[in-house]
């Protein structure tokens, strides 16, 4: 099961019926466990903060950027089996971390997984004060700004490239019918976030 957690879909091994076994199911499970533990921790740590703040903080902890870095720091990236000859899989480290959590949950149960995530991961690798000051969710920021300024904001999927697990979505940020920025990613949400960051930095250049 732990070996499976580090088997990327690009290197999935075929079994009966031509079905490829990889870490995606464990990733799905680990993502849910990580979200639940993080939400509970933040709810108790910040008893006076509203839902928007808690959601933003959870996003900062479980973002692909953070999980990719965390997987590298833990050395998990050295265990991953994948075929990334074209450099397509930018989130494979974070995906493997979530799959690893899924394997721990199936092996040891929820309480062990909760303690492991709190003591060995969240409290050891995350500075909450620093996270409070960080701004990572550019999509939320640009939506809030557009509503405040009464701008017509749209996220438009303008194209899809590749097939199967290599498929990516190209999303364009359009404000008042003017295309501002576009990006591509393996998920629509990921492309929206990347395009939002580009658009935000065009509107508010540093």
- Residues tagged active-site: 31, 98
Instruction: Answer yes or no: are the C-beta atoms of 35 and 117 closer than 8 Å.
Output: no
Tokens in use for 60? 């900062």
The secondary element (H helix, E strand) that includes residue 167 is none
What does the alpha-carbon distance between residue 52 and residue 24 come to, in Å, rounded to a whole number? 29
Rounded-to-integer distance, Cα 4 and Cα 23, Å: 6
Element (H, E) at 84: none
By DSSP bridging, strand 153-161 and strand 168-175 are: antiparallel
C-alpha torsion 20→187→95→81, nearest 10: 50
Task: Give the 3-state secondary structure of residue 1.
Answer: coil
Nearest CA to 172 out of 164, 49, 160, 163 is that of 160
- Using DSSP's 3-state secondary structure scheme, residue 47 falls into coil
């Amino acid at each position: 099961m732990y070996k499976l957690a580090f088997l990327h879909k690009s290197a999935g091994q075929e079994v009966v019926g031509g079905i490829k076994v990889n870490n995606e199911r464990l990733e799905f499970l680990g993502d849910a466990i990580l979200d639940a533990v993080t939400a509970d921790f933040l709810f108790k740590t910040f008893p006076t903060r509203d839902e928007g703040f808690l959601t933003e903080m959870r996003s900062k902890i479980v973002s692909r950027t953070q999980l990719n870095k965390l997987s590298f720091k833990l050395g998990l990236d050295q265990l991953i089996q994948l075929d990334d000859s074209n450099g397509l899989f930018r989130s494979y480290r974070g995906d493997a971390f979530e799959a690893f959590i899924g394997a721990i949950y199936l092996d040891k149960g929820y309480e062990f997984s909760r303690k492991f995530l709190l003591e060995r991961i969240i409290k050891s690798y995350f500075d909450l004060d620093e996270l409070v000051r960080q701004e990572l969710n550019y999509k939320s920021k640009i939506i809030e700004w557009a509503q405040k300024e009464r701008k017509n904001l749209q996220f438009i999927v303008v194209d899809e490239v590749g097939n199967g697990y290599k498929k990516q979505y190209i999303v364009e940020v359009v404000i008042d019918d003017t295309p501002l920025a576009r990006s591509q990613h393996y998920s629509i949400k990921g492309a929206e976030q990347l395009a939002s960051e580009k658009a935000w930095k065009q509107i508010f250049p540093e």
